[in-house]
Amino acid sequence: MLPHEESTDSFKLVLLGSTDVGKSSLVLRYIRDDFREIVSTTGCAFFTQRINLQGKNLHFEIWDTAGQERYHSVCHLYYRGARAALLVYDITSKDALAFAEQKQLLFMETSAKTGSGVNEVFEAVASKLLTLEKQKEENQHISRISLQETHSPSEGHRCCTSL
C-alpha cells in the first residue's frame, strides 16, 4: 500500500423489520438525507455508503430487506456475510428496550422523518464494528505462538514464545 493510500474496511449491514416500519425511509435519510413517507421494497434493496470514523475509511454495504412474509424464504441469502443488523420497529412497540437490554444489544431511537438519531445509529454500529475488529486482531496476535529452539537440538528442549 502506498503511503498516501488509506485502507478501507468493508462491512455488510442488513436492515430487518416488519413491513412499513420505515427501513427504507431510514436508509434513504442516511444515504441521501431524503425522506419519503412511503417507500416500498420488493425483495431487497442495496445501498452503499462511505464514511470516515476514528481515522478509518469504512464502506457500508447496506441491505434493506422487504418485510413481507412472501420474501422470508429468500431473506437468509441477504443475511449471509452480514457483520451487523439493524432491527427497525414501530415506536409504539414498547417491549423493544427490554428486548435490547435482555440481549445486550445497542438500542437507539431514530426518526427518518426528522432525521433525529439517524447518522448517530449508523456511526454507533460502525464504531462497534471497529471495536470488534480491533479486538479480533488483538486476539489473533495474542494467540499466535511459535516454537523456537533455545538449546542445541541434541538437548531436545524447546521453548514457546509469543510473536
At 136-153, the pLDDT tens digits run: 888 776 655 544 544 455
Predicted model pTM: 0.74
Which of 44 and 36 is assigned the larger pLDDT?
A: 36
Interval 6-26: pLDDT, tens: 567 889 999 888 888 888 889
Q: Give the total residue count for the chain.
A: 163
pLDDT over threshold 60, residue 158: no
pLDDT over threshold 50, residue 159: no
Interval 38-95: pLDDT, tens: 666 665 778 899 999 888 899 999 988 776 555 556 666 777 889 999 988 888 777 8
The CATH superfamily holding the domain 8-146 is P-loop containing nucleotide triphosphate hydrolases (3.40.50.300)
pLDDT over threshold 50, residue 160: no
Angle at 102 between CA 100 and CA 105, to 5 degrees: 35
pLDDT over threshold 50, residue 161: no
Closest CA to 13 of 42, 40, 51, 39: 51
Q: Which residue spans within the chain are E strands per DSSP?
A: 8-16, 44-53, 56-65, 84-87, 145-149, 158-162
Type and span of the H or E element at 126: helix 118-143
pLDDT over threshold 80, residue 133: yes
Interval 98-132: pLDDT, tens: 888 999 889 999 999 999 999 999 999 999 999 98
C-alpha cell at 87: 432491527
pLDDT value, residue 18: 81
